[in-house]
Amino acid sequence: MKKVDQDRFIISVKVGPKGQITIPAEARKMFDISVGDTLMVMGDAKRGIALVKADQVYQVMGGILDGSDRN
């Protein structure tokens, strides 16, 4: 793992035969990812792939839809 700063790091993972990756313990701890959590896979052909906890996506979308998210 390469620590960029307190809130960022870079780490490599390998894709297994079933297309699975293991999220490193450091990342699971930083982003509070637990067994059974649902992650959203978001992709952009030019910029790459991002994994985001589904509950965070739903929270942001709820805020947008009800007008309370002003970020």
| pTM for this predicted structure | 0.69
CA distance 70 to 36: 30
- DSSP one-letter string for 8-56: EEE------TTS--PPPHHHHHHTT--TT--EEEEEETTTEEEEEEHHH
Residue 69: its pLDDT value, please?
A: 52
Per residue in 15-71, pLDDT (tens digit) is 999 999 999 998 999 899 999 999 999 999 999 999 999 988 877 777 777 776 555
